[in-house]
Amino acid sequence: MFRIGDSYRVPGKVRASWVLLIINFLAFYVTFFSFPLPPSVTFFIGGVIPAELFSSSLVQERAAQLALMTGYGGTELLNARPSILITLIWAMFLHGGVFHLLSNMFFLYLLAPNLEAQMGWKRFLLFYFSCGAVGTLCQIVYETHSTASIIGASGAISGLLGGYLVLFPDHFIRVTIGKYHSRNYRDFVIPFKALLAMWFISQLFGFIFPSPGVDSVAFMTHFGGFLCGLLVAQGRGGTGLGRRRFRVFKGGKDNKRPTWPPWGESG
């Protein structure tokens, strides 16, 4: 048995986090396995294309290239694209592959419950989508003439990391292996700040030293979303609202049974 989550559950109901998680998995399944359009066409229609705001001719060229590859008409593809306000949201539920999806959903599962319990579901959703939108806008400003579709929830997820740093800076991520009281039971705790440091270093390294196959990662979306989450959480009076002193862990364990799931009952 393997479990992972925050070692402390913030009291409160959690529903929106689960809904977002489910919608993301459903959207991925529909995009790759049941939608009549190829994923590349779906990404073109539902993704955010920076050049659309600055050079329509570049987007037309991209549509023409995609039309040759897929057999769909270029004009038809262009007309199928909704407004930028819609694609800002739609794109957050589109993921380019399994790793892209699972990495984002891991952090959503890990961080969203406590943030939602702290903020309430309405403010949490506003926070989530705002971070995603701001992250996307940062990528647009960074690559104004790019015709690559910006997709994924990475900006919003990065915002959760920024918000967590403000609201729950002293929390620990708890990893439990095995059944409680069994011989093989193991319990580990990792400071959230350590996890955040590893994430930030990986992002910075990937941005400075891009490798083949990673050049399509929108790192500015990550940085912009993180900064948005940091500032919004700080602006709403977040000065370690979730700061608390934890009981001492001995040998990677404590003397009380851990609460699972980490967000408790959803009510």
The model's pTM: 0.85
Domains of the chain: total: 1
pLDDT at position 249 is 44
pLDDT at position 255 is 42
Mean pLDDT by 10 residues, the chain (267 residues): 86 96 98 92 96 91 90 89 95 96 97 96 97 98 94 98 96 86 81 97 91 75 98 76 46 44 39
Asked if residue 143 is part of any domain, the answer here is yes
Asked if residue 200 is part of any domain, the answer here is yes
Alpha helix positions (H), 120-150: 121-142
First-residue to last-residue Cα distance in the chain: 25
Asked if residue 18 is part of any domain, the answer here is yes
**3-state class (DSSP) for residue 199:** helix
Residue 113: which CATH number? 1.20.1540.10
pLDDT at position 237 is 61
Nearest to 23 by CA among 86, 101, 100: 101
Asked if residue 247 is part of any domain, the answer here is no
Instruction: State the residue range of the domain holding 228.
Output: 2-235
Amino acid at 205: F
Is residue 43 within 8 A of residue 77, CB to CB? The reply is: no
Asked if the bond preceding 262 is cis, omega within 30° of 0, the reply is no
Is residue 126 within 8 A of residue 179, CB to CB? The reply is: no
Asked if residue 261 is part of any domain, the answer here is no
Is residue 131 within 8 A of residue 88, CB to CB? The reply is: no
Is residue 143 within 8 A of residue 225, CB to CB? The reply is: no
Asked if residue 255 is part of any domain, the answer here is no
Q: How far is 47 from 44, CA to CA, in rounded Å?
A: 6
Q: How far is 236 from 225, CA to CA, in rounded Å?
A: 17
Asked if residue 244 is part of any domain, the answer here is no
Is residue 12 within 8 A of residue 117, CB to CB? The reply is: yes
pLDDT at position 209 is 86
Asked if residue 10 is part of any domain, the answer here is yes
Is residue 188 within 8 A of residue 175, CB to CB? The reply is: yes
Instruction: List beta partners, residue 191.
Output: 172
Is residue 152 within 8 A of residue 96, CB to CB? The reply is: yes
